[in-house]
C-alpha cells in the first residue's frame, strides 16, 4: 500500500527538497511499524528531516514528529473513526 499522505519518493514531505529521500514510518515501535506499512502511514523525508538534529529522529525533532503523527491521524479519520485509529496505534494524537 502507498502512503495515505501526499508523499513521493525523491521529494521530502517536510522541506520539499528534491533528491535522495528515506522512508519514514510515522508510527514506529511496539509493532506500529508493521501497522504503518500495512495502513500507509509513511512519508518520504530527506536525510536531514529524517535523522538530522531537527529531523523526526533527531534531538530537537519532537515537534516535526508530533506534527506528522497528527496530520496522518487526521487524514485517516476522514474515512475512519478515532476508535479505529486507537485500536491500530494504541492512542490518539489529536
Q: Predicted confidence band at 1 (pLDDT cuts at 50, 70, 90)?
A: low
Domain carrying residue 64: 22-89
Residue 5: inside a domain = no
Residue 50: inside a domain = yes
Return the SS3 of 34: helix
pTM for the model: 0.91
pLDDT at 3: 92
The contacts of residue 70 (CB under 8 Å, 6+ apart) are 93, 94
With CA atoms as reference, report the closest residue to 74 among 94, 88, 44, 56. Answer: 94
Residue 56: inside a domain = yes
**Rounded to a whole number, what is the distance in angstroms from the first to the last CA of the chain?**
24
Residue 14: inside a domain = no
Mean pLDDT to the nearest integer, 40-66: 96
Residue 37: inside a domain = yes
What's the domain count of the chain?
A: 1
Distance CA 5, CA 62 (A): 20
Amino acid at each position: 500500500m502507498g502512503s495515505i499522505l501526499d508523499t513521493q519518493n525523491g521529494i521530502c514531505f517536510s522541506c520539499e527538497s528534491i533528491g535522495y529521500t528515506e522512508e519514514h514510518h510515522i508510527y514506529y515501535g511496539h509493532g506500529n511499524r508493521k501497522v504503518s506499512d500495512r495502513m500507509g502511514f509513511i512519508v518520504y523525508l530527506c536525510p536531514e528531516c529524517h535523522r538530522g538534529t531537527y529531523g523526526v529522529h533527531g534531538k530537537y525533532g519532537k515537534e516535526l514528529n508530533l506534527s506528522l503523527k497528527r496530520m496522518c491521524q487526521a487524514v485517516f479519520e476522514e474515512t475512519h473513526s478515532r476508535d479505529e485509529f486507537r485500536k491500530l496505534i494504541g492512542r490518539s494524537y489529536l
